[in-house]
Amino acid sequence: MCTQPAVSLDGATSAGPGETVDLGRNYAKHTAIVTATSSPTNVEVGLEFSHDGTNWARFNSANGSSFPFAVHTERVARYVRANLLTLSGGSSPTVTATIAST
Protein backbone atom coordinates (compact mmCIF):
# COMPACT_ATOMS: atom_id res chain seq x y z
CA MET A 1 0.00 0.00 0.00
CA CYS A 2 1.26 3.46 -0.83
CA THR A 3 1.37 6.78 0.89
CA GLN A 4 -0.73 9.31 -1.00
CA PRO A 5 -0.17 11.24 -3.07
CA ALA A 6 2.29 8.89 -4.76
CA VAL A 7 4.84 9.74 -7.46
CA SER A 8 4.40 7.75 -10.69
CA LEU A 9 6.46 9.84 -13.13
CA ASP A 10 9.56 11.22 -11.42
CA GLY A 11 11.49 13.59 -13.68
CA ALA A 12 10.68 11.58 -16.82
CA THR A 13 12.58 12.66 -19.94
CA SER A 14 10.99 10.39 -22.56
CA ALA A 15 7.63 8.76 -23.34
CA GLY A 16 6.60 5.68 -21.40
CA PRO A 17 4.75 4.47 -18.31
CA GLY A 18 5.72 5.60 -14.84
CA GLU A 19 5.94 3.55 -11.68
CA THR A 20 2.92 1.48 -10.72
CA VAL A 21 1.10 2.76 -7.64
CA ASP A 22 -0.44 -0.08 -5.60
CA LEU A 23 -3.22 1.56 -3.61
CA GLY A 24 -3.70 -1.54 -1.43
CA ARG A 25 -7.42 -1.67 -2.19
CA ASN A 26 -9.85 -0.40 -4.82
CA TYR A 27 -10.53 3.33 -5.08
CA ALA A 28 -13.00 5.02 -7.42
CA LYS A 29 -11.58 8.52 -7.97
CA HIS A 30 -8.07 9.24 -9.22
CA THR A 31 -6.29 12.49 -10.01
CA ALA A 32 -2.79 13.01 -11.39
CA ILE A 33 -1.12 16.40 -11.03
CA VAL A 34 1.47 16.98 -13.77
CA THR A 35 4.41 19.37 -13.47
CA ALA A 36 7.36 20.01 -15.79
CA THR A 37 10.72 21.74 -15.88
CA SER A 38 12.43 23.63 -18.74
CA SER A 39 9.23 24.92 -20.41
CA PRO A 40 8.15 22.10 -22.75
CA THR A 41 5.69 23.22 -25.43
CA ASN A 42 3.56 20.06 -25.27
CA VAL A 43 3.14 17.38 -22.63
CA GLU A 44 0.48 14.66 -22.77
CA VAL A 45 0.00 12.32 -19.83
CA GLY A 46 -2.39 9.39 -19.63
CA LEU A 47 -3.84 8.06 -16.38
CA GLU A 48 -3.97 4.25 -16.55
CA PHE A 49 -5.46 1.54 -14.35
CA SER A 50 -5.17 -2.18 -13.71
CA HIS A 51 -6.95 -4.72 -11.54
CA ASP A 52 -3.94 -7.06 -11.42
CA GLY A 53 -0.89 -4.79 -11.88
CA THR A 54 -0.10 -6.43 -15.24
CA ASN A 55 -2.86 -5.64 -17.74
CA TRP A 56 -3.39 -1.89 -18.24
CA ALA A 57 -6.11 0.31 -19.71
CA ARG A 58 -6.16 4.09 -20.08
CA PHE A 59 -8.66 6.04 -17.99
CA ASN A 60 -8.13 9.42 -19.52
CA SER A 61 -5.40 11.74 -20.79
CA ALA A 62 -4.71 15.46 -20.80
CA ASN A 63 -2.15 17.65 -22.45
CA GLY A 64 -0.84 21.14 -22.00
CA SER A 65 2.03 23.55 -21.85
CA SER A 66 0.91 25.44 -18.74
CA PHE A 67 1.81 23.72 -15.49
CA PRO A 68 0.61 22.25 -13.30
CA PHE A 69 -2.32 20.54 -15.00
CA ALA A 70 -4.50 17.65 -13.88
CA VAL A 71 -5.82 14.38 -15.28
CA HIS A 72 -8.88 13.05 -13.44
CA THR A 73 -11.15 10.04 -13.74
CA GLU A 74 -13.74 8.06 -11.82
CA ARG A 75 -13.10 4.34 -12.39
CA VAL A 76 -12.58 1.62 -9.78
CA ALA A 77 -9.01 0.31 -9.60
CA ARG A 78 -6.34 -0.85 -7.18
CA TYR A 79 -3.32 -0.16 -9.41
CA VAL A 80 -2.77 3.17 -11.18
CA ARG A 81 0.06 4.84 -13.05
CA ALA A 82 0.80 7.89 -15.17
CA ASN A 83 2.06 7.34 -18.71
CA LEU A 84 4.01 10.09 -20.48
CA LEU A 85 2.60 9.97 -24.01
CA THR A 86 4.13 13.13 -25.53
CA LEU A 87 6.99 15.42 -24.53
CA SER A 88 8.23 18.12 -26.89
CA GLY A 89 9.92 21.51 -26.83
CA GLY A 90 11.88 23.13 -24.05
CA SER A 91 15.50 22.55 -23.17
CA SER A 92 15.93 19.06 -21.67
CA PRO A 93 12.49 19.06 -20.01
CA THR A 94 11.41 16.66 -17.28
CA VAL A 95 7.90 15.64 -16.26
CA THR A 96 6.64 14.59 -12.85
CA ALA A 97 3.17 13.21 -12.06
CA THR A 98 1.77 12.50 -8.62
CA ILE A 99 -1.45 10.51 -8.12
CA ALA A 100 -4.00 10.72 -5.32
CA SER A 101 -7.04 8.44 -5.05
CA THR A 102 -10.18 8.40 -2.92
Mean pLDDT of all residues in 79-102:
96
Predicted confidence (pLDDT) at residue 4 exceeds the cutoff of 90: no
What share of the chain has pLDDT > 90, as a percent? Answer: 92
> pLDDT averaged over the chain?
94
Q: Quick one: average pLDDT of 30-57?
A: 96
pTM above 0.75, yes or no: yes
6-101: CATH class: mainly beta
Question: Distance between CA atoms of 96 and 82, rounded to whole angstroms?
Answer: 9
Q: How far does CA 64 lie from the centroid of its chain?
A: 14
- Of 18, 24, 17, the C-alpha closest to 3 is 24
pLDDT above 70: residue 44:
yes
Domain extents in the chain: 6-101
